[in-house]
Structure 1
Amino acid sequence: MAHRSLEKPARRTTRAQLAAMILAVVFLLIGVLGFVPGITTNYGELSFAGHHSEAKLLGVFQVSVLHNLVHLAFGVIGLALARSLGGARLFLIGGGAVYLVLWIYGLVVVDRAGANWIPVNGADNWLHLGLALGMLVLGLLLSNRAGTGGRLDDPLDRP
């Protein structure tokens, strides 16, 4: 009698999962670099939150401790969700929606010091718009069923 293997066949990582993993690692890297003096200029001015944080990642993007922690959390969530196609798409599309809201928030509060609690500056706003559009496009287009004419399904039902 032949012995059957009880092992599951290896699952292939999809393009959406790969994109989500790459973005998640970038978010982790940015979160860590936000705490590194020299890479973050005016590091002594790094505050927990609020518009008064003068620290800037790469001398351009205004950051705070909260801002860096959010990047780290976003990276951890992205890595966890990238384990499945549905999770990867959720991270990409949901993250894109979050960054779209952040872009709008930044447009409204960038010059209103009291309301700017994240903090964000003009460079952050453009980065948030780019992230929003990029993540949305990746999440909507990178699917193993994209363009197949198959039925639309719930992304959370996918393996």
Structure 2
Amino acid sequence: MAQAGISKNSTTTVQKAATAVAVVFLVVGVLGFIPGITTDYDTMTFGGHHSEAKLLGIFQVSILHNIVHLLFGIAGLALARSFSGARNYLIGGGIVYLVLWIYGLVIDQTSSVNFVPVNTADNWLHFVLGVGMIGLGVALSRDVRTHAHSR
């Protein structure tokens, strides 16, 4: 049953946040394929640490890395259609990014284990994304009124 003053078809704040995060991932995925925005574009490989391509000249990318961003954005748009999906996308995605942060810290970035690939800038961005996404998912889904109307 919907709470008084809340439309059954309204979009919750957590859904809006998940949609915004998903759109950012889609944009980043597309930008990773644009020479100029991605420096050393001609060195981009499908995957692996040999790709010297860098989004905005900072974040190491590959074709696989860009595809992962696109898929993560598509998943976010799909999950943002419901309160629980949006919350799970933000919190679950944040956990994935914290795992990627730890992974990036412990691997040898010059080895074949760095298959996505990631560099130090990517690692710290993954940390910020993980903390930020979890924070959004938790903070924006705490309002019981919001959750009650989305069931």
TM-score if structure 2 supplies the norm length? 0.89
Kindly report which structure 2 residues correspond to 1:76-91, keeping only aligned pairs within 5 A, or say none: 76-91=74-89
Kindly report which structure 2 residues correspond to 1:1-80, keeping only aligned pairs within 5 A, or say none: 11-80=9-78
What is the identity, as a one-letter code, of the residue corresponding to 2:68?
V
Within the candidate set 101, 110, 113, 2:111 is matched to 113
Residue by residue over 1:95-154, the C-alpha shift from the partner in whole angstroms, topping out at 9 and shown as x without a partner, is 0010011001100114342211110000000000000000001111112xx255x9xxxx
Within the candidate set 129, 132, 139, 1:131 is matched to 129
Q: Who wins on radius of gyration, i.e. which is larger?
A: 1
What is the identity, as a one-letter code, of the residue corresponding to 1:137?
G
How many residue pairs match? The answer is 142
The alignment-based identity, stated in percent, is 61
Within the candidate set 80, 98, 106, 1:100 is matched to 98
Q: Which runs of 5+ in 1 are unaligned?
A: 1-8
What is the identity, as a one-letter code, of the residue corresponding to 1:78?
G
**Any conservation in 1 of the 2:49–2:109 contact (CA below 8 Å)?**
no
Task: State the alpha-carbon separation in 2 of the partners of residues 147 and 28 from structure 1.
Answer: 28
Larger relative contact order, structure 1 or 2 (CA cutoff 8 Å, min sep 6): 2
Task: State the alpha-carbon separation in 1 of the partners of residues 54 and 39 from structure 2.
Answer: 5
What is the identity, as a one-letter code, of the residue corresponding to 1:46?
M
Q: Compared with structure 1, are the counterparts of its residues 112 and 41 closer, same or farther at alpha carbon in structure 2 (3 Å cutoff)? A: closer
Residue by residue over 1:19-52, the C-alpha shift from the partner in whole angstroms, topping out at 9 and shown as x without a partner, is 0000000000000000000000000000000000
Task: State the alpha-carbon separation in 1 of the partners of residues 14 and 129 from structure 2.
Answer: 15
Task: State the alpha-carbon separation in 1 of the partners of residues 109 and 48 from structure 2.
Answer: 13
Residue by residue over 1:73-103, the C-alpha shift from the partner in whole angstroms, topping out at 9 and shown as x without a partner, is 0000000000000000010011001001100
TM-score if structure 1 supplies the norm length? 0.85
